[in-house]
Amino acid sequence: MKVKFLWAILLFAAHFNGFAQENNHTLWYTKPAEKWTDALPIGNGRLGAMIFAGTAVDHIQFNEETVWTGKPRDYNRKDAYQYLPEIRKLLFEGKQKEAEALAQEQFMGLQSSSGDREVWVSEMKAGKGIQGNPALANFDDKLWKSIKVPSYEGWEAVGLANLDGAVWFRTTFDVPENWLGKDLILDLNRIRDQDFTYINGKLVGNTDNTEPRKYTIPAKLIKKGINVIAIQVLNYFDKGGLAGYKDTSKKIGIYPVGSNVEQGISLVKEWKYKIQDEDPPAVPQYQASYQPFGDLNLYFKPTKSTVSNYKRSLDISNAVAKTTYTLNGINYTREYFASQPDQALVIHLTADKKASISFDAELSSAHRKSLVKTLGNNVIALSIQVKDGTIKGESRLTALIKNGTVKTVNGKISINQADEVTLYLTAGTNFINAQDVSGNPATANVKALNSLKGKSYAAIKQNHVKEYQSYYKSFSVDFGRSENEKLPTDERLEKFASANDPAFAALYMQYGRYLLISSSRPGTQPANLQGIWNDLLTPPWGSKYTTNINLEMNYWPTEILNLSALNEPLFNKIKGLSKTGAETAKAYYNARGWVLHHNTDLWNGTAPINASNHGIWVSGGAWLSQHLWEHYQFSKDRKFLSNEAYPLMKQAALFFEDFLVKDPKTGWLISTPSNSPENGGLVAGPTMDHQIIRSLFKNCIAAAEVLSIDGEFRKSLTEKVNQIAPNQIGKYGQLQEWLTDIDDTASKHRHVSHLWGVYPGNDITWDSNEKMMQAAKQSLLYRGDEATGWSLAWKINFWARFKDGNHAMKLVKMLMKPANNGAGSYVNLFDAHPPFQIDGNFGGAAGIAEMIVQSHQDYLDILPALPSEIPNGEIKGLQARGGFELDLTWANGLLTSLTVKSKTGGNCKIHYKNNSVSIETKAGETYKLNGDLK
């Protein structure tokens, strides 16, 4: 009996361990995705898709990395440098507002060309594109469609997807007898962007882009009984229509003067509408926006039966998403992945009963200029043209079936009674590089489909998994088991803040790695604000590359989490930016080298954008240069340093040699004009700039020494390093954010820019200046813990460097809490700024690693910030500066083993608690130590 019982326990333990292991690399759910941030992401670096996994309709929204607005153009104001001395003078005199006004007028980048709005508006007023005059009371609108008014998220949300242009709206209201003879108020709240509003054919109001829209209607215009409201709405860009207020309790309506909308007639209802024109003049933009490509919908034959055993999942160990369910006694399975070797999104549908798979597959796009055509009985193609831009794209959907029938009907692929179906979704554009858009969008499709020809699904999947795992398997993490691994991911997320579930933090680290592999493969564009996933034509912040933290944060995991090869897209981008940045350096600062302000896009714009109070920040190129030096630090790849990193770093440093000026008050070299990102306006001498520039100069000196070159340049930089304004401690014991001691200790601003020197830099360390480190910590305590998603991720790294693991873990739990209209994580574990921004996923993953090992002080610091909630663990494949790869285990909070693999040889210093050891290593050799470093 005892033997049987023991055997049962062992079996259960094995089963649970297997289940737990699966859940340590699997996100899974018991219901389909309802919204985009529930869906599961797949990607191969170039193509990305979001899988909704419905049973009646499966929605797959997809992207291709080069679908952007805009075109190659000059972003630079040629004579901007002439205004630089005056802007500096105004800042030195304390005239910030005047400096910002001058900079806004003369120092911002050039916007894209705009159409002639005046001409278009007069054409719309004159009735071009519409028959008759819809303003008139007796106009016949019987054949017009209806739309819900107001539409708080723009008319796009209620049926007019992605429309900009002119639309007429009409409705009626019945006037009570006791209103006759009274002036009335028509309250329309908010209209985007301009309206011409008529009552019974007479114009009563016209407003462009302000709110509220409140018009007084003279009593003589109102008649007894039915009255007609007609509104011509002109929308130039983004959301349109009668939009109402964000506060939806404020209704639109009509009422007598002296009363209020609650006592009046509500106009919240269905209105008649007619599109007059959908081609308004282009709205000028500083930079371009990343765009969605299209949507694939699979419509399954309707059935009255209910679905059971539903599960959708994403296995990040092999980058395969899966949907399984039972219907009419048949078990259905769908698998989805984005193959890099075959450059296709692949969907495989099977059932455990023959002839059970029937559905229609349809391609569509949010782009107004899009067209679907049939290329064969099993192939359809979607063509798109980006509005006001030069990018054209083509995607193709190809269906291969086993038994059953396949044909194309009305531009859809129709499949009936198949045993098995494989769908290939491919896509390409005319983008060749940032200067050349002469490509053929069909080329990528033809190439991919030729590559897929004759291959079995099993072989395609095997090649995909093998290529993906060449990155993924370089690193493993285990923080132990937990009860919550049995829960679906959404439930596990809800419980994480109050649960003991360190394994979920381990999953989050690996998910960060999964997302980076999926959005940044060698040969692709770098991961943008949303990685590679975006479903909106006007995404938040253009889904661009924000270079005052967000782009850099995307690449924090590459070195430490053993994904070094994924830096290649970033390094290629830096090369492109150094070329356009050299033009900007000359035009704006009359300086050598190259400069990058706080944003860039597909076309490598480097000029200041948006507003002068935050858009003139000069350190983007210097910060990106830090990534080049870090790659050398981790890899010790001298060839990379000589051929790629140092030339770019040197040019970035040359810019600052010319740019830095003497502060008239202190005599220090300072950076001006600039800002402390998005905080405090245009200033002279923000601390962050000085930390970044000082680090750049020091890195250039060290690199030139390694390469034994540029003696004079080294000497010049060495002199300047000591003259740059130092870090300062202010009156509240804080690290000053600016040159003067003006920090507001009550400020909870999300950017904590002046702590750059703590992380990701090493301008401030415990060993070099403990007092300054304490001041930096004091600054962070004043800022508080609450923040947006990416800011929480940055703070995790700060607290790790402050060696306070429990505080860092508290922020991990805040980053990994359900995002209910605030910061945290969405159901699919995407980071919520909010809205979705992927940088928090990457910064959070790097931050957890920083709690385990640090190497920025010229030695390996083992378990410097281990939180009490992760008492046991094992990590393999963690990378450290000096060219070392580490495996380590710990139990009950104490190190039990450490294995160091030396890639390039050299001295390896190791610190753990009060122990330290120094090993002279040989390239390729492995060194094993116990918990006492022996």
Structure confidence at residue 768 as a pLDDT band (50, 70, 90):
very high
DSSP state of 152: T
- pLDDT for residue 4 is more than 70: no
Instruction: Give the pairing of strands 906-912 and 860-862.
Output: parallel
Q: Which alpha helices (H) appear in 52-95, and where do they start and end?
A: 84-92
SS3 284: coil
Vertex 459: Cα angle to 457 and 460 (nearest 5): 65
Tens of pLDDT along 882-904? 999 999 999 999 999 999 999 99
Residue 211: predicted pLDDT: 80
Q: What is the number of other CB atoms lying within 10 angstroms of the CB of residue 2? A: 6
Report whether pLDDT(42) > 60.
yes
State the average pLDDT for the chain. 95
Closest CA to 861 of 904, 903, 898: 898
- Please state, in angstroms and rounded to a whole number, the distance separating the CA atoms of residues 95 and 79: 23
Measure the CA–CA gap between 226 and 247, rounded to whole angstroms: 30
* CA distances from residue 97 to 82, 688, 806 in whole angstroms, order as listed: 19, 22, 43
Q: What is the pLDDT of residues 141-175, one digit of tens each?
A: 999 999 999 998 899 989 998 899 999 999 999 99
Polymer length of the chain: 934
The confidence score (pLDDT) of residue 601 equals 98
What average pLDDT does the segment 876-880 reach?
98
In this structure, of 207-221, 436-450, 549-563, the range with the lowest mean pLDDT score is 207-221
What confidence tens digit (pLDDT) does each residue in 277-317 have? Answer: 999 999 999 999 999 999 999 999 888 889 999 999 999 99
Give 733-754 pLDDT, tens digit per residue. 999 999 999 999 998 989 999 9
- pLDDT at res. 23: 60
Q: Is 194 helix (H, G, I), strand (E, B) or coil?
A: strand
With cut-offs at 50, 70 and 90, classify the pLDDT of residue 80: very high
| Nearest Cα to Cα of residue 803 among 733, 836, 850, 743 | 850
* pLDDT at position 22: 60
State if pTM tops 0.85.
yes
- Could you give the CA distance from residue 106 to residue 112 in angstroms, rounded to a whole number? 16
Ordered by where they begin, the domains of the chain are 2-70+288-473 (2.70.98.50), 83-109+544-731 (1.50.10.10), 117-277 (2.60.120.260)
Could you tell me what percent of the chain has a pLDDT over 90?
Answer: 93
Banded model confidence at residue 5, pLDDT cuts 50, 70, 90:
very low
Q: What is the dihedral of CA 489, 492, 493, 494, to 10 degrees?
A: 130
Give the side-chain half-sphere CA count within 13 A for 812. 34
pLDDT band at residue 375, thresholds of 50, 70 and 90?
very high
With vertex at residue 762, the alpha carbon angle to CA 756 and CA 767, rounded to the nearest 5 degrees, is 130
List Cβ neighbours of 368 (8 Å cut-off, separation of 6 or more).
162, 163, 278, 387
Is pLDDT larger for residue 7 or for residue 681? Answer: 681
DSSP 623-692: HHHHHHHHHHHHH--HHHIIIIIHHHHHHHHHHHHHH-EE-TTT--EE--SEEETTEEEEES--HHHHHH
pLDDT digits (tens, 9 = 90+) for 571-584: 999 999 999 999 99
Long-range contacts of residues 740-746, Cβ cutoff 8 Å, at least 24 apart: 743/779, 743/782, 745/782, 746/782
- Is the CB of residue 794 less than 8 Å from the CB of residue 752? yes
Tokens of 131: 């028959």
856 versus 115: the higher-pLDDT residue is 856
Round to whole Å and give the CA distance between 725 and 662.
Answer: 9
pLDDT at residue 14, as a whole number: 40
Torsion of CA 546, 550, 554, 555, to 10 degrees: 90
